[in-house]
Amino acid sequence: MQEFIVPHYYLLILRFKFMDIVTKNHEAVPRELLSKEFLSQFKTESDVSQFLKNLHSQVLEQMLEGEMDAHLGYEKHSTLGNNSGNSRNGSFPKKIQTEHGESVIHIPRDRLSDFSPVVVPKHESRGLSIEKLVISIC
C-alpha cells in the first residue's frame, strides 16, 4: 500500500504563507475581498456562521483533491492518468464535526483503494481544523 507523504517544503511554504496572512494587520482576508456588496448578503450572525461552515467544507474538499492529485501523480481530467494503473473512482460523503459545526464533505477515492488522506484522516471525523493540521504537520 502506497502512503501519501506531503513534501516538507510544501508544508513549510503553506505554514509561512498562513502565518504571514494572519499576522499582517490581523487580517485573514484582504479588505478588498470584503466589499460592502459582498458583506451585504449577511443579515445575521447565523448567516456568517453558515457561510464559514460552507467555506471550511469547500477548502477541505479542495485540499483533498490536491492530495489525490499528488497521490496519483496527475491532475483531474489529465491524459497522464490513462493506463496508469490507478485512477480516480468518484467520492463518498463523510460527516465531519468542526469548530463550525457538522458538515458533509466528499472524500475522493481511487480504484486501488490505497488513498489515505492527511487532511481528513480515515476513521476521524471530529476536531478537524485546517489551522491545526498545517501547524501540527510542520
Look at residue 133 in the predicted model and tell me its pLDDT.
53
From 106, 50, 63, 114, select the one nearest 85 (Cα to Cα): 114
> CB-based contacts of 116: which residues, under 8 Å, 6+ apart?
1, 3, 4, 122
Write out the three cell numbers for 19.
Answer: 502565518
Per the CB < 8 A criterion, the answer to whether 96 and 103 are in contact is yes
What's the mean pLDDT in 17-38? 67
| Angle (nearest 5°) at CA 93 between 87 and 97 | 130
Instruction: Look up the pTM and report it.
Output: 0.69
Average pLDDT, the chain: 76
| Residue 105, pLDDT score | 92
Give the start-to-end residue ranges of the domains of the chain: 8-30+44-74+86-137
Q: What is the pLDDT of residues 67-95, one digit of tens each?
A: 999 999 888 888 887 778 888 889 999 99
CA distance 27 to 33: 11
Q: Which residue has the higher pLDDT, 37 or 27?
A: 37
Which pLDDT belongs to residue 11?
Answer: 46
pLDDT tens track for 41-70:
889 988 888 888 888 889 889 999 999 999
Q: What's the pLDDT at 121?
A: 84
| % of residues, the chain, pLDDT over 90 | 18
